[in-house]
Amino acid sequence: MNFSPKNSHLFSVNSRRQFLQAALSVPPMVGMGILPIKSAFAQLPVADSVKALTFDVFGTVVDWRGSIIREGQLLGAKKGYDIDWAEFADRWRGGYGPSMNRVRTGELPWTKIDELHRMVLDDLVDEYALEGLSEEELDNFNKAWHRLSPWPDTVAGLNRLKTKYIIATLSNGNVSLLTNMAKNAGLPWDAVLSAELAKHYKPDPEAYLTAADLLGLRPEEVLFVSAHVSDSRASARTGMRQAYVIRPLEYGPDRRADPPPEGEFDYIATDFLDLARQLGA
């Protein structure tokens, strides 16, 4: 059954008694990276059992594509570059996964996203023949990822969710990137958590489990919010609950992500305000 605030009355006195009995019988987690045993928290309505919401950021909280296009256009106007900045943004983002995999496989030591973004950017600068860029200009352009704009519902939705839950990032972005982004965009996080703290990039389980541990919570007490099916599924394998938020324009108007299978995740929301309504915040 998919519990929600609408059917929370189903959690009866007998169910509470069963929950307490089951809770006493569940052994604690003994190690990182091990799939946690399903605890009695799963019997509670999701909105009541979770204590914190953690958020994927790129694409879920902020519009990376529109922001990078805008930054590219500003740079192009200044330097006289005439290129397709939408294509450039897609190519830059396209290097994200492969560069993280080089870290994951041990080809590279632990490397922050800022540095991985710069490696991809340097290749694109050569490919697109963006001549005449100083090191200062390259560094500033690379830090466009620190200045990504939120989706229109993001700030209001986060502020509503914050009234009921701890809200935190759970992103592959490094801590300084996420902190600067929050400052720039007015994102009201209670905590800035990053794969950097685990030294493992999502979808490695350590990234999700470290975030829950740093919040002092069990994985099942954390609702992971993402616009990406693979990210949500990876969090589910660690025991976290999931809220899938639809961001139809993340990849532009001509490329839309397929919706998740019905019933796979605890919540599906059209935006953060809709998620807040469903959670009773």
Q: Using the predicted structure, report yes or no on whether residue 104 has a pLDDT greater than 50.
A: yes
- Lowest-confidence region among 11-15, 41-45, 91-95, 171-175: 11-15
Which CATH number goes with the domain that contains 237? Answer: 3.40.50.1000
Q: Using the predicted structure, report yes or no on whether residue 226 has a pLDDT greater than 90.
A: yes
What total number of domains does the chain contain?
2
Taking only the tens place, the pLDDT of each residue in 121-132 is 999 999 999 999
In a domain, 11, yes or no: no
Mark whether 273 and 193 lie in a shared domain. yes
Q: Using the predicted structure, report yes or no on whether residue 265 has a pLDDT greater than 90.
A: yes
Range of the domain at 228: 36-61+151-279
Mean pLDDT for 192-201 is: 98
Taking only the tens place, the pLDDT of each residue in 138-176 is 999 999 999 999 999 999 999 999 999 999 999 999 999
Mark whether 116 and 56 lie in a shared domain. no
Q: Using the predicted structure, report yes or no on whether residue 35 has a pLDDT greater than 80.
A: no
In a domain, 22, yes or no: no
Mark whether 168 and 209 lie in a shared domain. yes
Mark whether 57 and 183 lie in a shared domain. yes
The residue with greater pLDDT, 137 or 16, is 137
88 — pLDDT class (breaks 50, 70, 90): very high
**pLDDT at residue 14 in the model:** 40
d(CA 85, CA 73): 7
**pLDDT at residue 47 in the model:** 85
18 — pLDDT class (breaks 50, 70, 90): very low
39 — pLDDT class (breaks 50, 70, 90): very low
In a domain, 104, yes or no: yes
255 — pLDDT class (breaks 50, 70, 90): confident
**pLDDT at residue 236 in the model:** 97
Structure tokens at 246: 């639809």
- The phi and psi torsions of 173 (rounded to 5 degrees) equal -60, 145
Which CATH number goes with the domain that contains 124? Answer: 1.10.150.240
**pLDDT at residue 23 in the model:** 36
Mark whether 118 and 225 lie in a shared domain. no
Mark whether 126 and 246 lie in a shared domain. no
Mark whether 106 and 120 lie in a shared domain. yes
The residue with greater pLDDT, 6 or 107, is 107
Mark whether 213 and 270 lie in a shared domain. yes
